[in-house]
Structures are given as C-alpha cells and as structure tokens.
Structure 1
C-alpha cells in the first residue's frame, strides 16, 4: 500500500473543499459581500450564535455544508507522510518528537474542571497558569495524538484524541470574566484541529462527533474575544475561524475574514510595528516583542485556516497599505537581536522577555524568506508552542504549498 493510499483510508470529508472552492482573493467577493458591510472596513459587530446558522452535516449526511478542512488539508497530510518516509528534514525530526509524546502518554486522562474560570495573569499569575493548564495540556495532546494517528494509522492514538475531545464536550459551566475567554480562545482551537483529523475514525461515532459539534456552537464559539482590538482579538479570531470551518458556518467564516482584514488595517503602524503591543508592560516595553509575537501568531494561524478553506489572505493589502508581511519583517530582526528593539525603556535589554516565541515563522518564512528568521528556525527546530498549534515545524517547516512544491 502506498503512502497516499494509507493517508486516504479514512472516509472522505463531506465536499472536501465544500462551497468555498476558491482560487484566490479575487474569487471571494460573493462570500465577503454576503457577510460584511461593503461601506466600511472598521471592525464589524460580532454575530450571535443561532440555531438557524448553517451547520456542517456529519460525514454520513452528504451534501455541501462543509467549508473544507480546518488547518491541514488531506494533500498536506499526504505530503507529510511521504516526507517522513523519505526522512526529509525538518519534518522527520519533528515527527519523532510527536511520536515520542504519543507513545509515552497514550493512557493520559483528561482534566476537565467543573467550572472553567481563569483569573487575570497580572493579578494572579499562579492561579492563571494552574487554571488553564488542564485545557492547554489536553488540547495540545489531543492534537498531537490526532497528528500521530494520521501519520501512522495507530488506533490507540485516535482513541486517545477522541477521549480528550469527548471529555471537553461535556464541560457544563464556563465563566467569562478576567482571562477566562482569552485563555479559552487560544487553547480550545487545538481540540477542533484534533477533531478535524479524526473525523473519519470509526472509533469516534457520529453521535459523539455531533456532541462536540454542539458544544463548539453553543458553548465554545460564544467564548471568543474577536471583538477586542489587541492580541485578544487575534486569538478570538482563531477560535472563530476554526469553529466556523468545523461547523461549516459561512456567516461566521465571513465575519472572521472581515475581522482579519480589519486587524491588518488597524493594528499595524506605517513602519510595521504593532502599536497595541510594543510598549507592554507598564509602558516599559520589556514584553513588547513577546506581545507582538502573541498578536502575529494568531493572525498567521487564522490566515492559514482561511487559506486551507480557499481564501488567501497572505497578500491582502489594507486600504492604508498595511500588510501581514510588513509586520512580520518588522518583528523578525527584533526577535533575533532584541538589543535593536527601540521601544524598550528600561536600563537592561536582557530583561526583554519572550523574544524567541517564533514558531509561527514556520508558516511565514517559506512564503517570505528572511535570513534572520531562517537563522532562528535553524537554531531552534523543532519549535514547540503552548498555544493552539504546538507542532508548526512538523506541519509547515519548509513547506509553502500543500503538495510540497516551492
């Protein structure tokens, strides 16, 4: 059996590219015009969830309700399997990290709280970290197990992923104050990515998939922070687009695309810096690079979800000329040499924190090659991340196109 045949063993997703089989930005006018006001590019109101919104049918139902995959296309998954077989780097070494985790934690049990609540980090750092740890670990492990399953067909990994997904689908109580919505926005999407990878697994039957789908629509989606102007908004956007792709909801998807464009226009300054982030914290700027990463990382993940579903936002130019590339090329040299960061007002630039949280460079650098970014990636691979997409070296390292071509 060939690697391609193995990858295709799961039942085909309903309408693999769905009703968003689009070739580029020029093709998406019909969707965007239906989902936003053409008269303004200011951030649009956040829609309320509704039972009347289109819901993706289960794989058994057939039809055209699916937006496609969420984050990784079947073509990319086939490419990754072949790169593993051919021992192509950085894919091969990154996969062995995934394999080690999957093999050692197959019996891992979920940690779902009775009530989801996360205190504000700058008020209660320890409580914040402790409260969100269960979702962070469960979601990232579910995604790890699901990736391992799709690369190896090992049923134990699919079962482990499904166990974690099902457990969180049973969460009853979610509070919204302090950092509860933000932490949910940046950790929960990994469970959606995992679900997308095991949707054809026989051991995850339709009724359990539907329970998770219901949870995403009724409880998870309202937790998004997409209406916020800073990095909170970017992470909320990831939750919205991941949920919309999973649910097959064109209304939410279109609002997410609209919001993505608004962030490009309103978050990025003329020289590429992010005005909301560079002076963090307390106006001193010791976390200015970190928070710039913490805004651009979700903006990049959101762009990738959109691309996989037929809407290419990477080359989008806002009315004021701002682009994602402009912000990326501004932060890269700061990340490699923090001493060049001009917004730090302290006395010792060694106090700058989180400067190397750069796993999202794996998505952007193949598109816009940058010597500083390449040097950082080469030194740190395989890169890991705590938020939403922990394995970007494996899934995107040196891969511009899903079929492996450059």
Structure 2
C-alpha cells in the first residue's frame, strides 16, 4: 500500500508539472518579449526591408542630440476657449518629447544601435526624474493623450544600456495612473484605456490589463451607434461650445479619428498581451466604426455637418491608424484612403509599421 501511495503522489506531481509546461507553451509567444507594441516578427520584417525605415532612421540621426524640456509642475491651460484653440507650449513639448522618445526607441528596435536607446532613455528619464505634480485638468488630459508614447518607447529600450527605469515606473504608476480618464464617456475614456493598457503591459499588472480590456469592450458598446458613427464625437465644434454653436460638427470627423486612434492602439497592446478584442462582438463594432470613418474620410461631403460648415471640416485625414485597422477589418474605402496617402496623426509611425 505504501508503494501505491508513493506512485500516486508521483503521478500527481507529474500531472502538475505537465500542466505547468502546457501553460507555458500555450501562452502567447510575445509575452516573452519586453516590447509591448511590436512582435519579434514585426521587427524582423522591418529589418529585412531597410528602404521602409530609411527616412525614419535618418530622422532619428538628425534628432539624436535633441534634449527633453521637462517641468516639475505640469499645468498647461485649457485646450479650448470660447473663441477657439488656446496655444499650449507646455503641452506641445510634452507631446513632442514623447514622439521623439518613441521614434528613438523604434530606431533602436530596428537597428540595435545603443545610441538610439540612450536617446530614448534620456528623454523618458528627464521627464520621470523631474515631473512631480499635474494640478490642471488639461495637464491630466495631456497625460492621457501623450504618455502612452513614452510607455511604448520605454518598453522598446528598457533592456538596453543597463537603464534604471525606477523613476519612470514611479511616474506611470503613482502620478499618471491615478489621472486616467478611462471612466469617462467620450474620447477621453478611450485614451484612458490606452494609458491603462500600456502601463499594465509595461509593469506586468494582470489585473489592470484585464480591467482595461473590460472597459475597452464597454466603450465600444456605449460609443458606437448602429450605423457605425460615434454620436458623442461627430457633433464636436472647435471651441467650448462643444456640441453646439455655429461651428457644430466642424471637428466631428477629427474627433472620430481622435477616438478610434487610441481604441485601435489599445486593441493592439491588448492583443499582444493575450487579451485580444479584435474578433469579439465589440470588435465588430470597431469594424463598423472604421467603415463609417473611412467612408467619411474618402467622401467628407457625406459627413452630417459638412454642409452646415460651408464645406469645411477639420482633421479629415488624421487617419494614419487606418493602416492597422485595414489589416484587421479590410474595406474598400479604407484601402483607398491609405492608397491616396497624406495620412496625418502619424506620431506612432503607423504608416511605416503597418502599411
């Protein structure tokens, strides 16, 4: 009987070991990579087509000595006034530094040249070591809009040059995360989900990653109408008369793009972390939203507020993110917009990476 008991215990241990190994094998391969934005296959493809990244690499070379301009108190003024957009030098620099770090990180991922990693790390650390508080509402918004680029950049370079990312982890978890707008109901929520998902992927926070996916799904259910439009965005003006006034809807297509861009980016990060949303019912709603946005971008005269704004709309071609959506949900209008070129809001180099 003792022998049988021993055999039973060995059998249980073997079974547990087999389950553990199976779990490791079945986990998405990308989980082993620190890069939260690109797979090893993506990077390999970029390296195999140097012409595709030539202009990007040249830009990184030109920018290699550019330094960050961090501030301790990040308090930019409100983006809109009663008469229009307010110039915001502090917010613009925070955004441009993030894109600078992102490009440097991407150039490092492609080339493995440590100079690019060092440049990205210097920019990220400059803000992480300096920024202490974000007391303004616009500052909190800009954190949601622009910090994800820093997080993605950091994921590309965190294993290079023995970089110490402790101050950056403090920034994203103690300052940025409490400012997330993921609980709001318009485009701010979509940017908040992207912020949460990127932080979760970078820090390995499984609970935050799961809640980010849940909120992503909720937003697609609440934001996308049956015809694929985004009712909370298509009415947007370019002043504090957000969805009213003489210029109602002039920013409606621009804000449609400004909602679908972070939605697409968050879906990408979730997918690479084994939390795919592309082929869910809510992913189908994103597909419908993409079809509608693509049709309006190709034919802006069909946008509901085109005529009322004298045949003018802002941000019609802010659609570089189409290149990734076209991979997931191909449609003729989206393909034609991409083929036409002149795609803006390309700070994440969507065109280089996904076209």
Measured against the shorter chain, the TM-score band is: 0.7 to 0.9
Partner of 1:115: 73
Which residue of 164, 169, 176 maps to 1:220?
Answer: 176
Matched, 1:385 2:318: no
**TM-score when scaled to structure 1?**
0.74
1:20–1:310: 8 Å Cα contact kept in structure 2? no
2:107–2:116: 8 Å Cα contact kept in structure 1? yes
2:220–2:286: 8 Å Cα contact kept in structure 1? yes
1:152, 1:197 → 2: CA distance?
A: 12
Matched, 1:295 2:254: no
Partner of 1:277: 233
Which residue of 110, 131, 135 maps to 1:172?
Answer: 131
1:384–1:392: 8 Å Cα contact kept in structure 2? no
2:144–2:180: 8 Å Cα contact kept in structure 1? yes
Partner of 1:352: 313
Matched, 1:244 2:200: yes
1:243, 1:364 → 2: CA distance?
A: 22
Mean Cα deviation higher: 228-237 or 116-125:
116-125
Matched, 1:101 2:59: yes
Per the alignment, in what secondary structure is the counterpart of residue 262 of structure 2?
Answer: helix
Partner of 1:317: 281
2:90, 2:44 → 1: CA distance?
A: 37
Partner of 2:333: 372
2:196–2:208: 8 Å Cα contact kept in structure 1? yes
Q: 1:166, CA displacement in angstroms?
A: 0.8
Distance 1:128 1:262, change over 3 A: farther
Q: 1:309, CA displacement in angstroms?
A: 0.8
How many matched pairs? 323
Q: 1:181, CA displacement in angstroms?
A: 1.4
Partner of 1:403: none
**TM-score when scaled to structure 2?**
0.84
Kindly report which structure 2 residues correspond to 1:121-136, keeping only aligned pairs within 5 A, or say none: 121-123=79-81, 127-136=86-95
Distance 1:18 1:302, change over 3 A: farther
Distance 1:144 1:337, change over 3 A: same
1:161, 1:188 → 2: CA distance?
A: 14
1:210, 1:21 → 2: CA distance?
A: 28
Q: 1:317, CA displacement in angstroms?
A: 0.6
User: C-alpha root-mean-square deviation of aligned residues, in Å?
Assistant: 2.4
Per the alignment, in what secondary structure is the counterpart of residue 237 of structure 1?
Answer: helix
Per the alignment, in what secondary structure is the counterpart of residue 328 of structure 2?
Answer: coil
Which residue of 17, 27, 37 maps to 1:21?
Answer: 27
Q: 1:99, CA displacement in angstroms?
A: 1.3
1:347, 1:118 → 2: CA distance?
A: 30
Which residue of 192, 211, 216 maps to 1:255?
Answer: 211
1:266, 1:337 → 2: CA distance?
A: 26
Kindly report which structure 2 residues correspond to 1:320-331, keeping only aligned pairs within 5 A, or say none: 323-331=285-293
Per chain length, whose mean CA-contact separation is higher, i.e. which structure has more relative contact order (CA < 8 Å, sep 6+)? 1
Per the alignment, in what secondary structure is the counterpart of residue 365 of structure 1?
Answer: helix
Distance 1:342 1:172, change over 3 A: closer
Q: 1:291, CA displacement in angstroms?
A: 0.6
Matched, 1:336 2:298: yes
Q: 1:296, CA displacement in angstroms?
A: 0.7
| 1:265-312 per-position Cα deviation (integer Å, ceiling 9, x unaligned) | 000111111010011114321111111111111100000000111122
